[in-house]
Structure 1
Amino acid sequence: MIKIAYPEHPYKIKTENGKEFIFDMIRKQWVALTPEEWVRQNFLQYLLQVKKYPGGLIAVEKEIRLGELVKRCDIVIYDKTARPLLMTECKAMEVDITVTAAEQIVRYNVSLPVRYLVITNGAYCFAFERTGKDFHPLMEIPEWKE
């Protein structure tokens, strides 16, 4: 398990009709501020500021197909050749990271193969590197390599 130290960031938050919204700088739009979205936005800032991933290579809520089902990956990072590199599944802080969450991201990886898989609930995360058909746990999230 990896403990994340999140960087400071001046989030843009607004309230409309009693609902809170946060500005997603990757999607360039206001989105409902749910507990899962709060984790996603904080983890995005961690990836951008701490791990130095370029914002232009990040997709948020990337649509994928699992057979006839349409699903969305929370965060997908591409390499410089536009191949998917890292996929993150975000859960709300009160949600424990379980085998079910791991199975979910592994299913997504069948449709969108990546080298690195990350599952986080904001407080903790698990990261794995895929080599062939095997997944190996990582002790830290890999940094961007140019």
Structure 2
Amino acid sequence: MQELNFPKFSFRFKNSENKVSIFDAIRKKFVILQPEEWVRQHCVQYLIDVKGYPKSLINVEKELKINDLKKRYDIVVFNTNGSIHLIVECKAPKIKISQASFDQVARYNLALNATYLMVTNGLNHYYCMMDFEAEKYNFLQDIPDFKH
């Protein structure tokens, strides 16, 4: 798999039926290793190991409904009170991050009301904080570390 713009993390892999799987510590199971999954797993490890977010507050690949349409988010981090702190949209490394990527995560956020948004293809990471009153997002250098 391609080198990504994340710190080096160690992952568990397994090979079955000529398919490589990577262990997802949040879902507690092996999942087929696709380019987007490679980015997702790096992002999860970044949130846990670098930013200090507890695994118990992280959710991966869950369905949500937006205007009666079923969508799936990549990663959501909750606050300890159950509200949503962060939504992460992961793309495969070959996918260029565009305005459409932000529009997608912003649409998800209409239903989720997260304070922070992150969009990454593993090579480029973009972070922003919602300004709900002005109905816009402000770009940041990084997302904040977990505060206990």
TM over 0.5: yes
Query: What residue number does 2:143 align with?
Result: 141
Amino acid at match of 2:144: P
Query: What residue number does 2:108 align with?
Result: 108
Measured against aligned partners, the alpha-carbon deviations of 1:122-141 in whole angstroms (never above 9, x if no partner) come to 01111110121221110112
Greater shift, 75-84 or 125-134, is seen at 125-134
Alignment length (residue pairs): 143
TM-score when scaled to structure 2? Answer: 0.92
Query: What residue number does 1:87 align with?
Result: 87
Percent identical: 40
Question: Deviation at 1:5?
Answer: 5.3
Question: Deviation at 1:7?
Answer: 3.1
Q: Is 1:15 the counterpart of 2:15 in the alignment?
A: yes
Q: How large is the RMSD of aligned CA atoms in angstroms?
A: 1.2
Measured against aligned partners, the alpha-carbon deviations of 1:14-49 in whole angstroms (never above 9, x if no partner) come to 111111111100000111100000000011111111
Question: Deviation at 1:9?
Answer: 2.5
Closer, same or farther: CA 128–89 of 1 in aligned 2, 3 Å:
same
Q: Which runs of 4+ in 1 moved over 2 A?
A: 4-10
Q: Note the residue ranges of structure 1 that are not aligned, 5 or more in a row.
A: none
CA contact (8 A) 1:39 1:93 kept: yes
- Show the 5 A alignment for 1:65-84: 65-84=65-84
- Show the 5 A alignment for 1:24-103: 24-103=24-103
- Partners in 2 of 1:93 and 1:140 — Cα distance? 19
